[in-house]
Amino acid sequence: MTGPQLHLNLFIHDTGHHEASWRLPGADPLSHVDVGYFEELARIAEGAGFDSVFLADSPVLWGDPGRRPSGRLEPTLLLAALARATSRIGLSATASTSYNEPYNLARRLASLDHLSGGRAGWNIVTTAGDEAARNFGLDAQPAHAERYRRAAEFVDVSRKLWDSWADDAIVADKARGVHTDPGRVFPVDHLGEHSSVAGPLNVPRSPQGHPLLVQAGSSEDGKEFAARYADAVFTAQPTLEEGQAFYADVKKRAADLGRDPESVKILPGIVPVLGETEDEARALDAELDRLIVPDYAVDQLARQLRVPPERLVLDEPLPAELPGEDEIEGAKSRYTLIVTLARRENLTVRQLIGRLGGGRGHRTFTGTPLQVADTIEHWFTSGAADGFNVMPAVLPAGLRSFVDTVLPILRSRGLFRTGYETSTLRGHYGLARPGASAIPSRDGDARRPRAVSP
């Protein structure tokens, strides 16, 4: 195929991204702890040629457990199982830099890359919220800027650890009795503001060199971090204009840092609610919204806006007086997205929770397969996206519908692959395998291997 190609990631979220999807008659409310369910979704996505599947995570129980399935299996363990159930699709998971240590996480990700044959990805998050902090011996979350400083150091140390083995370190010379050349395995000797790591890593360099690095914050700190480190960016952009502005901003920041902007893939979230006709799609959307329990939704919104729940009246707009973004130490960009959406469209609280219930602020699109395909193409060709983080409102039905009805349209337009051409996640994204950043030779000089083709 010729011409630019879309990148599509499947974001798996228990029974679907709509918070009431678990209440539909055909939904399995225990699917979030069923490895067979995740294997089924991963196989469907792989059969369709998706670049990757993605599992979100947090080191805290999400929201009110009465509201929707809230427990989560540890994602790197789950992805290890999916690595055996699939062969080509990428496998990405969220892991927090605030509540992990570089050595342990770098080891888990390198291990996953080996287990999967080079398909691991890491969604780097700093984790907002005092609830998570209290699970790790802290009274409150660190400040927003401090969390990003720690994240930058965390990624720098992780990359050093992944590079602490040369690609040719294992010689397996049976005749000489030498398995690994000790001169090709190196200490890290990192001493920084947030961590001290001697190294080397106790896992050999993995097939991709480094897992694919993904970032999902859209604050100023988040965009700067993405421009410096990310191979792909998951973002919530509800309008084309906002998507174009974000896309141009991150690409420019990457270029200003000396990176090729094309090496940073921007993937907004899209929540498709599909029907053979518009009326059928709207009927499913209305049924899902009818199943939202308002009390749970109002409490969740109040926590996001940092206001008492009693200030949110269902059939009135948001209160005129709300905290400014500068006062928010949690998820700044998501806070701004929610408030901007409500103000721009003059939504009542009831309408707002309906919009957020479908995709938590991501672009929700209700319509026919042709309309969804047209929207995806328009964003792709208008400088708003390199692809999409596909977030079906209902799983697995919404995924099957997208695969069976939307993808054929995109393929007929030459916008999406008909099959995999590479075997690694970096390869699917057209990204080079990074060479080790600075591997000393035996005489003390530094060897800096060039990146090789995927």
Residue list, annotated binding site for FMN: 57, 94, 144, 148, 218-219
Nearest to 195, CA basis, from 142, 139, 152:
152
Max Cα-Cα span within the chain:
79
Query: Is residue 7 helix, strand or coil?
Result: strand
Residue 326: Cβ-neighbour burial (10 angstroms; 0-12, 13-18, 19+): exposed
Would you say 235 and 267 are in contact if contact means Cβ atoms under 8 Å apart? Answer: yes
- Bin 324: left if φ > 0, else alpha if -120 < ψ < 50, else beta: beta
For every residue of 370-404, DSSP letters joined together read HHHHHHHHHHHHTTS-SEEEE--SSTTHHHHHIII
Contact at 8 Å (CB) between 282 and 4? no
- Mind giving me the DSSP string for 263-291? GSEEEEEEEEEE-SSHHHHHHHHHHHHHT
If phi over 0 gives left and psi between -120 and 50 gives alpha, with beta otherwise, what is residue 94? beta
Question: Encoding tokens for residue 77?
Answer: 């363990």
Tell me which amino acid residue 65 is: P
* Matching residue, tokens 């294997």: 39
Q: Tell me 297's DSSP state.
A: H
Binding site residue list: 57, 94, 144, 148, 218-219
